[in-house]
Structure 1
Amino acid sequence: MNTELIIDVRDTEVAIALLENKQLVELNKERSNVQFSVGDIYLGKVKKIMPGLNAAFVDVGYEKDAFLHYLDLGPQFKTLQKFVQDHYSRKNKTIPISKYGMLPDIDKGGKITDVLNPGQPIMVQIAKEPISTKGPRLTSEISIAGRNIVLVPFNDKVSISQKITSPEERKRLKRLMESIIPKNFGVIVRTAAEGKKVAVLDAELRSLIKRWEITVEKLKNPGYPVLLTSEIKRTSAILRDMLNGSFNSIHVNDENVYEEIREYIESIAPEKEKIVKLYNGNVPIFDQFGVEKQIKSLFGRTVSIKSGAYLIIEHTEALHVIDVNSGNRSKSSNDQETNALEVNLAATDEIARQLRLRDMGGIIVVDFIDMHSNENKQMVYERMKELMSRDRAKHNILPLTKFGLMQITRQRVRPEMHIDTSEKCPACNGSGKVTATILLDEQIENQLSLICASKKYRSVTIKLHPYIAAYIKKGFFSKRFMWALRFKCAINLLPMSSYHFLEYHFFDKHDNEIEF
């Protein structure tokens, strides 16, 4: 499989697109002003105890208090709390975990009031970002993720990823990790560790322990809530979790991010350093690789499949609903059952892609076209399970009901990706009244006159819709040719498929927009 990562670095956000065989399957957008990231560790303050929910609300510096359930405290919560209290605001030497006495596990059926009091400090980690009207979801079972292993302080277990199926490899990894891991630390061995040598895993283990020690050192600074350690940037986190042998190239349009990614890949997979490429083209990177067009076609309410079939996707607070429609496939010469099976199988491909692309979580209900054959229903179910096996989010799929409904639950840790694909009317700008579009070329010419004559520009690039660009370039004595002669200015036309029909902007030779 040909896998590419396209990274568009902008002033306010970083957009990351994952392409599989040139098809967009994942899209992540990280805003520069977003406060939370899953994996961040905080020293918070217990604000309110809710005995009825067996939970607490914790202040971690956000406008809405975060939610911490008793079951998310972790078995060794008492040990963690004692460790935090022993180090908080103290200037003496840090006590290594390996020399720390472990207290008994907390009672699985216990009460939140037995272990927490309002006002006390507590070490927590973001498990889910704020979604809709809810604040972040927390856990006190701290973990620090690396590429091959996840370090779990105050734990003594070695867990192996279920995706590593070889019994011999599972035993090798377990023996290896048990031989190198310090006392009172546990690890989760990730799928990427399969086949890795002891030196690689030992180096990563030491690196993760160092990150934990830096986190503990920050406990000595008075005051809370405070961020103790931050998850690595979204770009590096995606690379850490997704980079595999199928990656062919990573394109990025910012030199600083390019160097950051190149150094990161060099540290985890030196043989793949050359796949990172800096993009310097004039066309926006998402336009160059066809990402922008796919975004416009994939994030609407209606999504085309093929041969006329399509999906309708609706979102509510409680769940997501996907309706499969045959469209003009109903005119096919095949019988109804065969036609329904073909459309449903084609729909499974797009549904699995949409769940990853929009990062839809919670409950998803899919209304497939009715089929009478149980064998056909099972075929659709097996196909969906096969396609969803590539999804990194935890999920569960139930077989089709007698009404043709499939129920899916998918892990939700971030708000669903939503992009508004509708555009303001290019002719009236939303006013409901249309100006004479025949005057568009005159508007461009008048502004060009101001730029070249009054502002003394000698080279101008006009970015505009491809149809308008083709009209202005048409013929030997084209409008562009005539404008260049009249204004004694080099005029370049750059078609932009992401622009609406009548949109255009002027840029100087340094690609800075010329303001009026």
Structure 2
Amino acid sequence: MISELVVDVQPKEVTIAVLEDKKLVELQQEAQDESFAVGNIYLGRVKKLMPALNAAFVDVGHKKDAFLHYLDLGVEFNSITYFQKFVSDKKKIPQLQKMKLQRIIEKEGTISDVLKVGQEILVQIAKEPISTKGPRLTAEISFAGRFMVLIPFIDRVSVSQKIMSREERARLRQLIQSIKPKNFGVIIRTNAEGKRVAELDAELKNLLKKWEDNIVKLQKAKAPSLIFEETGRTVALLRDIFNPSFEQIHVNDKNVTKEISEYVSIIAPDKKNVVKPYNGALPILDNFGVTKQIKSLFGKTVTFKNGAYLIIEHTEALHVIDVNSGNRNKSSLGQEDSAYMVNVAAAEEIARQLRLRDMGGIIVVDFIDMNKGEHRNNLLTKMQEFMEKDRARHNILPLSKFGLMQITRQRVRPEMEVATSEICPTCFGKGKIKSSILFTDTLEGKIDYLANKLKVKKFVLHIHPYVAAYIQQGLFSLKYKWKKKYSVGMKIVPNQKLGFLQYAFYDKDGNEIDLKEEIEMK
């Protein structure tokens, strides 16, 4: 299997697409000014205690107060609070290695015994704001790397259960125990298996530096304020999913290309050449077939093999997926075998959709009814196999007697939603439009306005691929005539994101030139 990463950096948002054998399996879209991401650390202030919930609401700067449960304080919360008193002394930076850890808090304790309203506490985002809810917090601070997770105030080493070899587990535990400082805990991740001392030591030093840099910020901070911002989304995604099967990482931005190249050079020096800057004329997502896949995969109805399709419905905490055979017709197979084949193909597509949309909570799948117990058991096994690539924690239950499969999947970010329907770009939903045959006249009017009023002599015009083909057809095309008539340097880019009669002008630096409908109507 060949894995590729396509990164589309735009002024307002960054889109990251993961392709496996050219098929889209993961999609992340984040605004450039995105905040309150998982992993960010804040100095917050307790706003309200909720004894009935054994929790507190904490102000971290979000419009909704963040939620912190007693069990998320961490057993070493007293040590964190004690350490914060030393941080307030701005003359010197306290050394955690020299501090004596305080007694752990009671697991069955109450929130009012530990916190009080107005208290400043160091917290980390555990779950991003979703719908009407604020962020979910933890007071157990951690710094994630590719090979390990560093946890201050805990003096122990744990090893991922996915590392099966006893010898390797013992080697890693002994190695980390010998190089880590006192009063720091480490969770060794699966990726650390087989890694050399130098690689692990380098990452541990990098994570310790992050902690030390944050202490300096904490000394000057006033609640609520951001203390540590998680690595850029692109690099954070790479950290979790990067593996030797990555053949290409395509990026359309120089700065992000450099950032990713530096990161890959550190974690996998032999793979540093996989990062490729993209300078093509087409939008990067169009060039790699991502836009078309997004349009076909994010609707309510998703087709897969031989006419079969899924219907996906969403609620606040529950997702329902209905499997339909459609007009599929396999005369050589009986009803039972045909249903089994459709269900297996549906299970593969459902596993892909869960990753792609980042659907979390409870997912109920209504498969086509099967009578044979063997088929029902095999379907569960197949579903588990297809979900192995999913990095989110999940649990899959066997089919119920009604043919329903229940899946629970960890949700830490809002579900990915992409609108696949398009509002009419010329009437904006009003139902009346200008004659489409006059669209080229409209474009010529815009070019005239750009060249003669705004004095823009070089620009790029993004239009629907069908319109682009029409404008550029023939030796003496409309594009050729316009360039000659208005003495402009014009480049046409077919853009699959645009509607049939939509257009966008960009200057030579890639900034959009705002030509609103009002200009056209004057």
Q: Do they fold alike, i.e. is TM over 0.5?
A: yes
Shift of 1:326: 0.8
Shift of 1:331: 6.6
RMSD over aligned Cα atoms = 2.2
Whether the aligned pair in 1 keeps the contact of 2:313 and 2:319 (CA below 8 Å) is yes
Question: What is the match of residue 76 of structure 2?
Answer: 76
1:259-298 equivalent positions in 2, closer than 5 A: 259-298=258-297
Question: What is the match of residue 103 of structure 2?
Answer: 104
Question: What is the match of residue 6 of structure 1?
Answer: 6
1-structure distance, mates of 2:455, 2:118: 65
Question: What is the match of residue 119 of structure 1?
Answer: 118
Shift of 1:26: 1.0
- Once the two structures are superposed, residues 245-296 of structure 1 have per-residue CA deviations (whole angstroms, 9 ceiling, x without a partner) of 1111111111111111111222222222111111112211111111111111
2-structure distance, mates of 1:484, 1:10: 28
Whether the aligned pair in 2 keeps the contact of 1:427 and 1:437 (CA below 8 Å) is no
Question: What is the match of residue 47 of structure 1?
Answer: 47
1-structure distance, mates of 2:302, 2:393: 24
Structure 1 residue 346 and structure 2 residue 356: aligned? no
2-structure distance, mates of 1:108, 1:231: 29
Shift of 1:501: 1.4
2-structure distance, mates of 1:307, 1:13: 36
Question: What is the match of residue 440 of structure 1?
Answer: 439
Tell me whether 148-157 or 330-339 shows the greater mean CA deviation.
330-339
Equivalent AA in structure 1 for residue 25 of structure 2 = V
1-structure distance, mates of 2:484, 2:135: 61
Tell me whether 478-487 or 155-164 shows the greater mean CA deviation.
478-487
Shift of 1:104: 2.3
1-structure distance, mates of 2:185, 2:103: 16
Shift of 1:337: 1.0
Tell me whether 452-461 or 159-168 shows the greater mean CA deviation.
452-461
Report the CA distance shift for 1:474/1:223 in structure 2 as closer, same or farther (over 3 A): closer
Query: How many residue pairs align between the two structures?
Result: 515
Structure 1 residue 170 and structure 2 residue 205: aligned? no
Whether the aligned pair in 2 keeps the contact of 1:324 and 1:344 (CA below 8 Å) is yes
Question: What is the match of residue 34 of structure 1?
Answer: 34
Shift of 1:485: 6.0
1-structure distance, mates of 2:497, 2:221: 50
Whether the aligned pair in 2 keeps the contact of 1:460 and 1:506 (CA below 8 Å) is yes
Report the CA distance shift for 1:152/1:433 in structure 2 as closer, same or farther (over 3 A): same
Report the CA distance shift for 1:442/1:331 in structure 2 as closer, same or farther (over 3 A): farther
2-structure distance, mates of 1:163, 1:189: 10
Shift of 1:484: 5.5
1-structure distance, mates of 2:223, 2:304: 51
2-structure distance, mates of 1:436, 1:421: 25
Whether the aligned pair in 1 keeps the contact of 2:468 and 2:493 (CA below 8 Å) is yes
Whether the aligned pair in 1 keeps the contact of 2:330 and 2:338 (CA below 8 Å) is no
Shift of 1:122: 1.2
2-structure distance, mates of 1:460, 1:223: 47
Question: What is the match of residue 372 of structure 2?
Answer: 373
Structure 1 residue 65 and structure 2 residue 81: aligned? no
1-structure distance, mates of 2:332, 2:431: 44
Whether the aligned pair in 2 keeps the contact of 1:42 and 1:124 (CA below 8 Å) is yes
Whether the aligned pair in 2 keeps the contact of 1:469 and 1:494 (CA below 8 Å) is yes
Question: What is the match of residue 208 of structure 1?
Answer: 207
Whether the aligned pair in 1 keeps the contact of 2:426 and 2:502 (CA below 8 Å) is no
2-structure distance, mates of 1:68, 1:457: 54
2-structure distance, mates of 1:189, 1:478: 62
1:217-296 equivalent positions in 2, closer than 5 A: 217-221=216-220, 223-296=222-295
2-structure distance, mates of 1:331, 1:426: 42
Question: What is the match of residue 406 of structure 2?
Answer: 407
Report the CA distance shift for 1:207/1:339 in structure 2 as closer, same or farther (over 3 A): same
Question: What is the match of residue 192 of structure 2?
Answer: 193
2-structure distance, mates of 1:197, 1:164: 16
2-structure distance, mates of 1:492, 1:226: 46
- Once the two structures are superposed, residues 175-220 of structure 1 have per-residue CA deviations (whole angstroms, 9 ceiling, x without a partner) of 1112222222111101111111112111211221221122223332
Whether the aligned pair in 1 keeps the contact of 2:471 and 2:479 (CA below 8 Å) is yes
1-structure distance, mates of 2:444, 2:32: 38
2-structure distance, mates of 1:297, 1:332: 28
Shift of 1:348: 1.1
1-structure distance, mates of 2:223, 2:459: 54
Report the CA distance shift for 1:396/1:121 in structure 2 as closer, same or farther (over 3 A): same
Shift of 1:427: 5.8
Structure 1 residue 422 and structure 2 residue 421: aligned? yes
2-structure distance, mates of 1:95, 1:156: 17
Question: What is the match of residue 21 of structure 1?
Answer: 21
1-structure distance, mates of 2:48, 2:375: 53
Question: What is the match of residue 392 of structure 2?
Answer: 393
Tell me whether 454-463 or 320-329 shows the greater mean CA deviation.
454-463
Report the CA distance shift for 1:449/1:244 in structure 2 as closer, same or farther (over 3 A): same
2-structure distance, mates of 1:174, 1:484: 68
Whether the aligned pair in 2 keeps the contact of 1:332 and 1:339 (CA below 8 Å) is no
Task: Report the 3-state secondary structure (helix = DSSP H, G, I; strand = E; otherwise coil) of the residue aligned with 2:412.
Answer: coil
Tell me whether 504-513 or 94-103 shows the greater mean CA deviation.
504-513
2-structure distance, mates of 1:156, 1:449: 70
Alignment identity in percent?
A: 58
Task: Report the 3-state secondary structure (helix = DSSP H, G, I; strand = E; otherwise coil) of the residue aligned with 2:327.
Answer: helix
Question: What is the match of residue 315 of structure 1?
Answer: 314
Tell me whether 441-450 or 238-247 shows the greater mean CA deviation.
441-450
1-structure distance, mates of 2:54, 2:447: 67
Tell me whether 64-73 or 500-509 shows the greater mean CA deviation.
500-509
Whether the aligned pair in 2 keeps the contact of 1:314 and 1:322 (CA below 8 Å) is yes
Tell me whether 501-510 or 161-170 shows the greater mean CA deviation.
501-510
2-structure distance, mates of 1:488, 1:122: 63
2-structure distance, mates of 1:217, 1:485: 61
2-structure distance, mates of 1:414, 1:309: 30
